[in-house]
Amino acid sequence: CEYLFNFDNTFEIHDDVEILKRMGMSLGLENGTCSPENLSMAKSLVPKSLEA
């Protein structure tokens, strides 16, 4: 398969964790310092359809 994308303006692709950091929602996940409380909160934000 071959894809061609045409964009009118420049854009940036960001890592998921980078976006969470910018939003103040990384909760220590980016460096392994996430507390049990923050981990529980992060898990609660994942849609049910994406849970394993």
Query: Residue 26 CB: number of other CB atoms within 10 A?
Result: 19
Domain-wise residue ranges, the chain? 16-44
* CA distance readout (Å), 12 to 7, 9, 24: 12, 10, 19
Quick one: which H or E segment has residue 22? helix 16-22
pLDDT at 5 over 80: yes
pLDDT at 17 over 90: no
At residue 6 the predicted structure's pLDDT band, cuts being 50, 70 and 90, is: confident
- pTM for the model: 0.56
For 19-51, what is each residue's pLDDT tens digit?
989 998 999 988 999 999 999 998 898 899 988
Report the C-alpha gap between 21 and 37 in whole angstroms. 18
Contact 11, 2 (CB under 8 A): no
